[in-house]
Amino acid sequence: MDQQGDVLKVVEAGMLAGVRPTWTVAGCSLAIGFGMVPGEGAIAWLGHPLAMVLCCGFAVFEWLHARDAQASALSALGFARSGLAAAAALAAVATMAGVENVEVGPLEMASGGGGAALIATLRGTIRDRVKELAHDAASAWVARLEDGGFVLFATLLFVFPLLPLLVLIVFAIAAAIGFAFAMVADRAQRRVCGACGHRARAEAVRCPSCQRGLEPKAWLQPPPRMSAHVEALFAEPPKKESAT
Amino acid sequence: MSGEVERDVSGEGDEAPGGPKRPAKGPRAARGPGAGLASAVALLVLLSMVAVWTRC
């Protein structure tokens, strides 16, 4: 493969860390430890048996953590996830550069690390939206989708490096369009607090700005389709089957 | 409906003596769609730059 394709492969290996940072580092650690990849320089310690065990332990922890709705809801971990993804991306970029024999510069590091941090932030916001709509029950399904995406991305990376980039571009466009629609819908549903003028969400019980109580409009006024359905249910008594 | 008890939905009756309480937050206040839009656009820009740089 040409040099540009190898560089793309190196950068994409870094971006892979945005989905599952510890899995990426564990993969690098095992590859270096078992001698499949020349682990030299700053990443040589990843090939140490203790590092291999620790990396695999962290990977199992992340696998469990992604399925735990309560644990993954801690705010501090949101920032930690993006930072962890960026750090893991640097390890992945350095490891893949050893495989492809590519000289790694700041541009590769910045692209891989920045891409991983952005992917980690984006998947965090998508998880938030999914949990808002489908509550905690969706966490396990989101985690399964992410696992599948990681494995597919990692496989395609070696087989056809251009495809993961195209898939990511399509994914980013779709996410941008989806979030733009969500933003418009969110603004349309907000209502003005009578005391301070803050635009609070429809389901807010208190104004987040002045703490004054708000009438929860969303609870008392369900969507027209739903209220019409409920009224229809109460208005008409259940039809009895006519005796033949 | 007769006998209906009016619900206090405003939450004004349960304020602490020291002043209004802070709003009860869950484990994390969910990030709004603006954060998602910003990260999606930033990712798109970065991917486009990588695509141009690697001459895909």
- B39 CB neighbours in chain A (<8 A) are 118, 121-122, 125
Which pLDDT score, from 0 to 100, does residue B17 have?
54
* A212-229 pLDDT, tens digit each: 887 766 555 656 666 676
Cβ atoms of A215 and B10 within 8 Å: the answer is: yes
Mean pLDDT of A81-107: 86
Q: Specify the 3-state DSSP secondary structure of A34.
A: coil
Tell whether B56 lies on the interface with A, counting CB pairs under 8 A: yes
CA distance B20 to chain A (A): 7
A119 and B43 in contact by Cβ < 8 A? yes
pLDDT of residue A178: 93
Pick the most confident of A99-103, B14-18, B50-54. B50-54
Q: What are the residues facing A206 on neighbouring strands?
A: A213
**pLDDT tens-digit map of A196-206:** 888 887 777 88
Dist. CA A18–CA A150, nearest whole Å = 9
Cross-chain residue pair B46–A7, CB shorter than 8 Å:
no
pLDDT digits (tens, 9 = 90+) for A32-82: 888 887 777 777 788 888 989 999 998 988 888 777 766 666 655 666 788
What is the rounded average pLDDT for all residues in chain A? 82
Torsion sign (Cα): B5, B10, B16, B22: positive
Burial of residue A236 (CB within 10 Å: 0-12, 13-18, 19+) is exposed
pLDDT of residue A127: 83
pLDDT in tens, A116-145: 999 998 988 888 888 777 766 777 788 888
Using a CB–CB cutoff of 8 Å, tell me whether B16 touches chain A.
no
pLDDT of residue A203: 74
Between A120 and A191, residue with greater pLDDT:
A120
C-alpha span between A220 and A230 (Å, rounded): 13
- A146 and A19 in contact (C-beta within 8 Å)? yes
Amino acid B13: pLDDT: 47
Decide if B22 touches A, using CB distance below 8 A.
yes
DSSP-derived secondary structure letter, A171: H
pLDDT for the residue B43: 92
Least confidently predicted of A184-193, A222-231, B34-43? A222-231
Which of A206, A207, A221 best probes binding to B when mutated, by most B CB atoms within 10 angstroms? A206
Residue B24, pLDDT > 70, answer no
Nearest CA in chain A to B28: A75
Of residues A116, A130, A99, the one with CA closest to residue A23: A116
In sign, the C-alpha dihedral spanning A22, A27, A28, A29 is positive
Contact list in A for residue B33 (CB cut-off 8 A) is: 125, 129, 179-180, 182-183, 186
Q: How confident is the model at residue B2 (pLDDT cuts 50, 70, 90)?
A: very low
Q: Cβ–Cβ of A129/B30 closer than 8 Å?
A: yes
